[in-house]
Amino acid sequence: ARQEELGHFKGEGGTNDLNPSGELLGAHEVVILARELGVEGTCTEPIASVDGMVDWAKPAVCGLQKKFGSDVFDVLDRPLDQPITREDVAELQVRVLNLPIPKNTDEILKNFPDRNQMSVKAQDAIAATIEAGIFKGDDAGTFRPQAGMNRAEGTKVNSVAHDIVDSENASIIDPIY
């Protein structure tokens, strides 16, 4: 309900059906982040090409590129029109929320039995989002880094991220490059 209230998810095909069990595509995540940061619609055409571009995400892509640089989406391993993985969400959130990379990544991740499934490049971002409270393990204690997310999971993750953006401790002015 929170994401609907914030206007981040609109119903499927103009209906009020938000389809919480539906896949969270990379484009959905991009639109949500752009709305969180107030940059959606600040321009209309993307500055640089992004794999899997969908028309309805162009204003969000453009806004995030304008604020964070044309390479902001280089952290994503899949095209925007594909389901986004948990580790891609972690990397994108760290990039646009300017979350600090913890010095104790190994300590934070040591209890996840599926740590070996986390790409090396994503481990710091995963640890940062865990430390920030954006992500945590599932009931089995796994992170499932290569798993996609449904819209309900995306809503929960982005709700926490929204709280970080709203907090007085958030620094989203200078992006991490």
Measure CA 47 to chain center. 20
Residue 7 pLDDT > 60: no
Mean pLDDT for 155-176 is 62
Residue 6 pLDDT > 60: no
Q: pLDDT tens digit string along 51-99?
A: 899 998 999 999 999 988 888 888 888 899 999 999 999 999 998 888 9
pTM beyond 0.85: no
What is residue 170's predicted lDDT score, i.e. its pLDDT?
43
Task: Extract the runs of DSSP E, i.e. beta strands, from 51-151.
Answer: none
How far is the C-alpha of 121 from the C-alpha of 50, rounded, in Å?
Answer: 20
Residue 43 pLDDT > 60: yes
**pLDDT tier at 111, thresholds 50, 70, 90:** very high
Q: pLDDT tens digit string along 112-125?
A: 999 999 999 999 99
What is residue 18's predicted lDDT score, i.e. its pLDDT?
60
- Give first-to-last CA distance, the chain, whole Å: 33
How far is the C-alpha of 24 from the C-alpha of 36, rounded, in Å?
Answer: 16
Burial class (CB in 10 A: 0-12, 13-18, 19+), 131: middle
**DSSP letter at 101?**
P
What is residue 10's predicted lDDT score, i.e. its pLDDT?
52
Q: Residue 15 is which amino acid?
A: T
Burial class (CB in 10 A: 0-12, 13-18, 19+), 149: buried
Would you tell me how many other CB atoms lie within 10 Å of the CB of residue 128? 23
Radius of gyration of the chain measured on its C-alpha atoms: 15
